[in-house]
Each structure stands twice: as structure tokens, then as C-alpha cells.
Chains A and B, each alone.
Chain A
Amino acid sequence: MIVSRAERAANYAVLVLFAAFALAPIVVALGTALTPSTTSPGGLEVFRQAWTEGEFSRYMLTSATVAAVVVTVAVLASILAGYAFGTMRVRGSGWLFPLFLLGLMVPAEAIVVPLFYDLRTLGLTNTLWAVALPQIAQSIAFGTYWMRAYFRAAPRPVMEAAVLDGAGSWRTLWSILVPIGRPAVVTLVLLVFMWTWNEFLIPLVMSPNGTFRTAPLALALFKGQHVQATGLLAAAAVLVALPVVVVYLFLQRHFIRGMVEGAVRE
């Protein structure tokens, strides 16, 4: 394609400008963390200090546990439900499936208040389940929708061949469809992991005594105690963001595809 040299230069200028806009706050945070001050050691030492003072080993472990449970349960349930919607004739799917789509739009704010008070009555607040189950439900809404799209697009001949071989629906799913659909499943796993890791409101509300305090929540409380030590606070912020960012840098195609296609389809 023919584009003038001047236009090309301008294009690169725009590119660099907006990349800089996207990176600037991250660079500032890193810079703040690494610069030594009266309240913060700077260098790499600051991360060690933030890690210990914020007890992040404990909260990261909580975050990881919650994320593992949510990802496992939500992805499994989504695969099963997506399989049913995508390949079987489900009576009532005319209103049942849209119900899941409706769930995609429900904000956490709309469910968290009664969830808290009802689970409290059942004595379930401050447990892993109080923090994980609402997030599982939210993830299932998207997961079912996402996996259904995959199963609908799955190659019919392969499925028919499996049926001819005498494979039941269960075996067709696990030994044929899921293995070929690995990219779709990986994308779902990554998205659910990211959402769960980054979630703030649900763990804030559902574990008032701090037993299941996740890393972002610990960061918000760390802020309350160390607001004057900007370097330390910035270091803690970097630590909390790091796991998702690292995974993103390696598998960014999945993230982008999931969020773009997941939104555009249908």
C-alpha cells in the first residue's frame, strides 16, 4: 500500500505517543518504588520490605487459592453447560441461555449485599466459599457463553465419527472435543484467573474479618498504613499486579482474543 513518507512518520509518532501514554503510569510506579527515600529503601530491597511488611506471602497465597478454586469449578461447569447448549437440543434453551447472557451484565454491586447477609445467616462469611462462589457464578455466565460458541463451531464430522465409533456424549466431550478445543479453554482459564485475581468488591465484603483477604484488598489496606511511604506502597502495588501481568506478557494473544472475540460474537 502506498502511503507517503510524511504520513508514515506521523503514524509512528502517534503510535509512540499513545504507547507512552499507556506505559507512563506504570513507569512512574516502578520509578517511585525503585527510588530510595527517607521512608523507603529503593532498589530491589523495597520489594522485599513491602512483601514482608504487607504480609503479601499470606495474601498472595489466599489470592492463589481463591483463583484456583474459581477457575477449576467455573471452567468445568462452563465446559459442561456450553457442551449442552452447543451440541444438544435443550428444551427451554430459548429462555435458559439468554438467562446466562443476562448474568453477563449483572454487576457485582447488585448481588453482593444480599449475598453477604444471607451467607452470614448461614455462617458462611469469612470462608473460602463466600469469596469464591459469587465469582464462580459470574464466571460461569461468561464461560457458558464462551464455550457454547466453541462447541457450536466444533467440526461436526469429528463428532459424528465419534458417535459412529460408539463413544457416548461424555467420552466425545473429554477425549475429542476438549483436546481440540484447548485454545478456547486456555483463553477461558486465563480470563477467569485474571478476573478473580483482580476482583476487589466481593472479597472486601465477603470476608470482613480478613481471613480470606486477597492481594488487591491487602494492597488497599496497606495503603491505609503506609500512605506516606510512597516507595513502599508503589512496590506493593507492583507486586500485586505482577502475576497477571507476567502471564499476560507470555500469553497475551489469549487475553486479547478472549476479550475481543468474547465481546464481539453473537
Chain B
Amino acid sequence: MRSSTATAATAGGLALALMLAACAPGTGTEESPSEQPQEISTDVAALGDITLTVWDQEVRGGQDEQMTQLNAAFEELYPNVTIDRVSSSFDDLETTLRGALTGDDAPDVVQANNTRGTMGAFVEAGLLLDLDDYADAYGWRDRYSESVLAVSSYGDGGATFGEGALYGLPQTGEIVGIFYSRAALAAAGIDEEALRSGTWSDFTAALATAQGSGATAIQLGNLDGWPAGHVFGPIQGQHVPADEIAALGMGNAGASWTTPENEAAAAELQQWVEAGYFNDGPNGTDYDAAWQSFSEGSAVFLIGGSWLAADLEAAMAEDVGFMAPPPAEAGGPVATTGGTGLPFAITAQSPNAAAAAAYIDFITSDDAMQMLADTGNMPVNRTAELAPAEGVNAEIFEAFGTVSESGSLLPYLDWATPTMGDTLGAGLQDLIGGQATPTEFLEGLEADYSAFTQGG
């Protein structure tokens, strides 16, 4: 039998070689996804009965609530449209989107991460609809600030990021900053007011104080790799000029990871680990488990995104506070990671582009911004006027206002290249786990970044 296995393999191989037409991978999928550019129409009621499939990742409490309410309101306004909503976690959406978008029955509206790996790759492959005409029809360029639209824009069919045609609209603003527990601050003997009005070195001193008092200074759940990016971002903002971070984060040529400034940032993060500021084994702790235990009083600080506010407030009520990473000098400019929530985009194949555009218009309208604020989210537009009077969201809105007006909102670093999410995630785990020196960590990032900027 054994020798006949070889015969079988040979015979089978030959037969199959014949069957494999001259068909190279990817040749069957090149017909342009939508045959005719569809007419730009804003009259949804006239479109007849439509089912609009929408994929989002708004699964956490307040996010889910606003989405549910807005969808219901849209269906009420246009009874001829039914929304088929598919929501999954951020990671799961990232996993499934690439496959789904290229299929025949792609969803109509998807929340596609701004990154080159996601939105950029889709634009390059002609899978997303250029929204410029709808932007004119609905007046989106007046509704949004230019900088917000820029991070959802790609030019030259995906080659440049940050300019060119518009491919999506975000609902929310995001800012990465420092959550803290007031009770834990008091227990560690840290004065909240002094901390809020202080400088970055006051903050790092507070970390040492917290650690010295026997508490866990910072809670971090980095099992997935990317969460530590939100800790590294603000640290990097202290050391590296904002325009360099922007180039690195958007994968545009002309910057470098292997600079003394970046080295200082990476070294500071590693020092935090060595000083014992983090909980035991951040690399083995789940992201959601981390903020959950922070809300139960396990640590003094949690460095993370404003999207956690609704859930943290629900669990901690007035105990939770938020501040932007403090400036290097008192009163100086503030820089931190942030920007917009994931933009909603329309697939190129969607036969319901007009309805999809109306939907995106609806969920980003001024009324929708109100709804977002009411459900504990930070709307990307009208942020200042919708700021709540008190609570953690008041502090978040204020921080976002300060940073976006007088400071710098830095891009998420994984936006840079298609593989940067994985490179950065694994690199940060290595850095935190003591497996890589700051230099090695940065060399890994530089290799990814320069391969992309030179190759593209």
C-alpha cells in the first residue's frame, strides 16, 4: 500500500494539473464590482422596499444603545427601508470584513477601520464607494471638520492616506486618556486637583506614589496586543513631535521609528513595567477583563479610550474621572492618541447606495449627535455644545475639546501599514514582557514602516 500511495499522489497530481486551467488566483474577480455608477439620489422614500445590511462593532452598552435607537428612528422615517444589523466585536469585525466585502452578497454599509490595512486595502481593491458626490449632495463637508474627513480619505486609489476622495463618516470622537478612580487616588494619598492641573512628571510621580502605597498603579489588559498601543501613544506624544507621529501613524514617507525620541518613549514604557506599575501579567489579561477589574477598584489608573466611559460610569458612577495626558510643562500643549470612531462606509457593490448614503447621513446628523450624547457617547460633531454638565463624560468632552483645539490629536499607530497592527501588537507585548529592548522594538516597527513606504 505504501508504494501505491506515491503512485496515487503522482497520478492525482497529474490529473489535477490538467484541471487547473490557466487560471491564476485573482483573475476571476476583476470585473468591476458595480457596472453602472448609480444615480445620486437623496429621495429615499422613492426607492421602493429595501433591506439595508449594516455591519457595525458598536457592541458595548452605550454604543449599542445609540445604534439601536438610531436604526429604529431611521426605519420609522422611511418605512420602505428595513435595516438588517449585524454587530460583532472590533476584533471579530476585522477578521470577517475582508472576506465579506469581496463576496457577492456584501453588506451595504460597513464600519471599516481607517487603517491602510482595512479601509486602505479596500479602497485599493475598489471595494468601497467614493462618497464625494454624496458629500456634496448632503453637505457633509460643512458638517464635519476637514481634519476628521481627512482620516477617512484616500487618494490615488488608496496610495495616499489623509487626502483625496472621502470613503466614510464617523459618528463619534475618540480620545485616549487617563481614567482614574477617585477612591483609589484618595487611598494612595494623591491629590486629584494637583494631578489634573499638573504636568506629565507630576503624573509619573503619582504612578510611583500609587505603587508605593501598595496599590496597582495602572490596569492593563494586553492579551490582544493592541491595547498597549493606547498606553504607548500618550507616552510617545510626550517625547516625539506631533508631525512625526502623524507621518509614522499614517504610513506616509519621511519619518523614522529609530530616533532618540521614540527610543525615549519606548524606554519610559518599559521603565513603568520594571517599576511594577502594571497589574501582574498584563500580556495575559484580557482587555475587557481589565477595565472590568479597574471598575471594581483593582487599580488607580486605566489608560484607555473614551469609548470605555459609558461602561465605566455605569459601574463606578462618580468614582471614575478622566483627564487627557498632562502636558510636559504646565499650561503647555497636550498631545494624545485620538480622532474618530470607526467610519461607516458604503460598499462598491451595494445596489442600495442611495439608501445607504441616506442612512449614513441620518446617523451622523445633528439630531443623531444629540442621541449619541444622550446615550453616553462622545459625538464627533457639536461636541462642545452637547457636553454634559457633570460626570466623567463632561471631563472627556472637555479633554477632547482642549486637545483638538489647542493640542494635537495623534493618529492610531496601527493605521500605518497593512501589517502594522500585528507588528505593533506583538512588539509591545515583547517590550512589556521584557523580551525586546526599546531599540529592538523600534527596529521591528521601522522594518514594517520602511518596507511599506518604500515599496508603496
Contact = CB atoms under 8 A, between A and B. Distances in A.
| Direct contact between A and B judged by beta carbons closer than 8 A | yes
Contact of B86 (A101, A205, A209, A266): A209
A117 B25 contact: yes
Nearest to B7: A95
A86 B12 CA distance: 21
Interface in A211-266: 221, 224-225, 227-228, 266
B102 interface: yes
A98 B5 contact: yes
Contact of B29 (A102, A121, A266): A121
A224 B88 contact: yes
What is the size category of the interface that chain B forms with chain A?
Answer: 35 or more
Given A120-B29, A208-B100, A102 B92 contact: no
B96 interface: yes
Interface in B55-113: 55, 59, 86, 88-89, 91-92, 96-100, 102-107
Given A99-B8, A121-B28, A121-B29, A209 B103 contact: yes
A227 B286 contact: yes
B292 A228 contact: yes
Given A102-B12, A117-B25, A126 B1 contact: no
Contact of A227 (B28, B102, B289): B289
A205 B5 contact: no
Interface of A is mostly: helix
A210 B86 contact: yes
B105 A126 contact: yes
Contacts of A121: 28-29
B4 A209 contact: no
Contacts of A224: 88-89, 91-92
A177 to B, nearest CB: 24
Contacts of B287: 227
B107 A209 contact: yes
A102 B8 contact: yes
Contacts of A266: 1
A126 B372 CA distance: 33
A120 B4 CA distance: 35
A221 to B, nearest CB: 5
B45 interface: no
Given A94-B4, A117-B25, A121-B29, A102 B103 contact: no
Contacts of A125: 99, 103-104
A123 interface: yes
Given A228-B289, A266-B1, A98 B8 contact: yes
B187 interface: no
B29 A95 contact: no
B253 interface: no
Contact of B7 (A94, A205, A208, A228): A94
A101 B8 CA distance: 10
B48 to A, nearest CB: 23
B288 interface: yes
A114 interface: yes
B93 to A, nearest CB: 9
Contacts of B86: 209-210
B8 A114 contact: no
A108 interface: no
Contacts of A126: 100, 103, 105
Contacts of A85: none
B389 interface: no
Contacts of B22: none
A121 B286 CA distance: 37
B1 A208 contact: no
B9 interface: yes
Interface string A157-178: 0000000000000000000000
A116 interface: yes
A126 B4 CA distance: 38
A96 interface: yes
Contact of A221 (B7, B29, B92): B92
A227 B288 contact: yes
A98 B99 CA distance: 34
A98 B4 contact: yes
A227 B286 CA distance: 8
A61 B105 CA distance: 22
Contacts of B12: 95, 99, 102
Contact of B5 (A101, A114, A120, A209): A101
10 contacts: A98-B1, A98-B7, A99-B11, A101-B1, A114-B25, A121-B29, A221-B88, A221-B89, A224-B91, A227-B286
Given A95-B11, A117-B26, 10 more contacts: A95-B4, A98-B7, A99-B11, A99-B12, A101-B5, A102-B12, A125-B103, A225-B59, A227-B286, A228-B289
Which 7 A-B residue pairs are closest in the complex by CB-CB distance?
A208-B99, A224-B89, A121-B28, A123-B104, A98-B8, A208-B100, A228-B292
